[in-house]
Structure formats: C-alpha cells, structure tokens
Amino acid sequence: MNLNPTFKLSEDPLQQARRALVHIRRLARNSSFVPIPVIGFAAVAFFRYEAHWYLNPFLALIFVLFVVGQVMAVLQLRRVLAGVRSTGKSIQILAESGDEPDLVALRQRLLDAAPAGHMRDLLLRWIELGLRGEVGGSESLLNNAWDRRSHLDNRTISVHVSMNRTTLKLGFLGTLYGLILTFPPMQRAVLGLADSQGELRFIKDISSAIDGDQFAIAATLGATMLSILIELVTIQILERALSGFDLVNSHINDWNLTRLQPWVRKRYGPTSRAKQAVEAQAALELKLSQSHAEIDRNLGRALEAIARTTKQLDQLAMVQAAVGRRIAELVDFEKQYRGFIEAKTAAVVPPGHQPSHIESGRLETSHIDSAALEEGL
C-alpha cells in the first residue's frame, strides 16, 4: 500500500488562458457573419407582414436603426478579434520567457513585439512593480485593469442597449400615432349615424379607423420583433465574447500569484538585493585585484625597459669614449706626420733655399692630409 499519495500538478495558467482565447476567437469569428442573415430575416418578415412597410415612417426608421446596429456589431466583433490577437501575443511572450524570466528583457520584448492592449499594459505594470521588489500592489493593478476594461465593454454593449430602447420607444410612438389616426374616423362614424345615409358613412369611417389601428399594430410589432433580435442575438454574442476576457484575466492573475510573485521575491526581494550587493562587492574587489596585478606587470615591464635603455646608454658612452680616443690618436698621428714632413724637407733643402714650388707642394700635401684625416673621422 502506497502511504505517500501523489498529487497531480495543476495545469499551467497560461495554457488555460490560451484555451479561453481560442474560445473567444471562435465565437467572435463565427458571430461576425450572423448580422447578415439576421438583417435578411428581418427584411423578409417585414415584407411578409406588410408589403409596403417602407411607406410607414416609423417602420422605416426602426429598420434603418436596426441595420446600423448590426453593422456596428460586426465592427465591434472585429475589434474583439484584434484584442484576442494582442492578448495572445502577450501570453506567448510570457510562455517563452519561462517561469523565472529576466524582467528587464521581458519588459523590453513586450514593448517591442506585443501590440498595445489591456493585457500588455497590465503585464508591464506588474513588471515595473516586480523590478522594485514589491508584490503587494499587484491585486490593485489587476482590479484597476478590470475596471478599465469593464468600462470599455459597457460602452460597447450600451450602444446596442440604447438602440434597443430607442427601437421600443419608436414602436410605442408609432402605436400612439396610429391610435391618433383612428380618432377622426371614429368621431365621424359616430356622428354619421344621425344622417339618412349614416350606415354607409359609418362603414367607411370604421374602415379608416381600422387602417390607423393597422399602422399602430405594425409599428409595435416591428419594433418588438427587432428588439427581440437585438436582445437574443447581438447583445448576447457581445456579452459572451467580452466576458471571456475576464476569464483570461483570471488565469493570468493565477500565473502572477504562482509564478511571477515567487520569482520576484526570490530574485528582486530584500534578501536577493543584499546577496546581489555582496556579489557586486566581491566582483568589484576581484576587478580591483586584477587591475593591481595588471599595473604591477606593466610596472615590471617598464623597469625592464628602463634597465635595457640604461645598458644601451652605457654602451653608447663606451663607444663615444673609444671614438674620442681614436680621434685623439689621429690628431697625434697628424702632428707626428707633419713634423716628419717638415724634418724631411729641412734635411733635403737648407733653410732659406726652398723653392716656391716645393713650398706650395708642401702646403698642398698638408691640405690633402688634413682633408684625408677629416674624411677618415
């Protein structure tokens, strides 16, 4: 016997919200074509009851008002489909983000990819609240979103409610007008009995009074029939389609309570913020130590470069000293050479008897030796 019972996990609220959206989409898509046969049925009924109903101003006005309401219903159902698409895109983004989403990235993706709508606005406000590490105001945000959507839904349905009431009032006015039309013939019929031919006039006047009654009955019947169609078809379809979004909001709120709020407490709550601060401080210290190590390495390389430069300067100084000694030796050599030339000249030709060409040759030789010495340096 198994003493540890297993509990079946509840279904994902996002999947339930998607199924609710599928139901709303199917209802709105199929119902968007309903007003066309409804208008045809009303027209056939009018012609069936009264072939020239369009000559009755009240019936004509009632029918035109009914057709305008049906056209508006088609447009409103199209807007419901647009709302289904925008809500479905927001739910898809939530499902793709997982149970522990990055709220900053999720917010940006909702802004970029999800169409504007009440669901996206609600999710963005929840995310803004979660980024502050707070979850206490999510219920208030949901209630405010419901109130705003209820206001828009009531405006949508109130149009048809107003048309329904106007249709009934026009039928009532037509009834009164038809009754008013019966008063003159009835009066003439009663007064005509006093004449000699009163019976014939009485019959004609009663016939005119019946025409007035027919006018009143036609207006009342037409208004009542169209009012029933508006109540049973148009208003019921819109109420069911719009109330489906309340079910979607309920599932999204379950996701908020079971997925988003626990993650916000874990990731963005006070404990998480303290942990993030410690981790940030540790990361900063690690970066500072890495920076110090890099500075030490750069300083070592700089010292090595300075040592190599100093060594090269020392070598350059030694080369300069060697070059200086070489120059001094060359200068001494030049002096010795000049002394040797002068001594040789004095030995060959006594002083005072040197020819001019010998003197010039000596000068040229001295100039050439000096030039060669400078070129060698």
DSSP state letters, 291-333: HHHHHHHHHHHHHHHHHHHHHHHHHHHHHHHHHHHHHHHHHHH
How far apart CA 317 and CA 312 sit, in angstroms, is: 9
> What pLDDT was estimated at residue 283?
77
From its phi and psi, is residue 100 left (phi > 0), alpha (psi between -120 and 50) or beta?
beta
Q: Cβ neighbours of residue 217 under 8 Å, at least 6 residues apart?
A: 175, 178
Nearest to 333 by CA among 362, 341, 322: 341
pLDDT for position 193: 60
In the chain, domain spans: 13-268, 281-376
Q: What is the pTM of this model?
A: 0.61
DSSP 102: -
pLDDT for residue 194: 56
Q: Tokens 């020239």 belong to which residue?
A: 52
CA angle 14, 113, 18 (to 5 degrees): 20
**CA nearest neighbour of 127 among 148, 147, 144, 111:** 111
**DSSP 3-state percent helix, strand, coil across the chain (nearest 5):** 85, 0, 15
Cα–chain-centroid distance for residue 368?
Answer: 94
Q: What is the pLDDT of residue 170?
A: 79
Give the model's pLDDT for residue 296: 80
pLDDT mean by block of 10 residues, the chain; 377 residues: 44 88 90 85 80 80 87 89 91 88 88 88 88 81 85 84 82 75 66 56 61 68 78 83 88 88 78 61 77 82 82 82 81 79 70 50 47 46
What CA–CA distance (Å, rounded) separates 347 from 333?
21
Contact 63, 46 (CB under 8 A): yes
241 and 24 Cβ atoms separated by less than 8 Å: yes
As given in the structure block, the two tokens for residue 33 are: 């074509």
* pLDDT at residue 23 in the model: 92
Question: How many residues comprise the chain?
Answer: 377
User: What Rg value do the Cα atoms of the chain yield, rounded?
Assistant: 55
Tokens of 341: 């030339």
As to burial, measured by CB atoms within 10 angstroms (0-12 exposed, 13-18 middle, 19+ buried), residue 201 is middle
pLDDT at 7: 39
Contact of 136 with 49, CB cutoff 8 Å: no
First-to-last alpha carbon distance for the chain, in angstroms, is 113
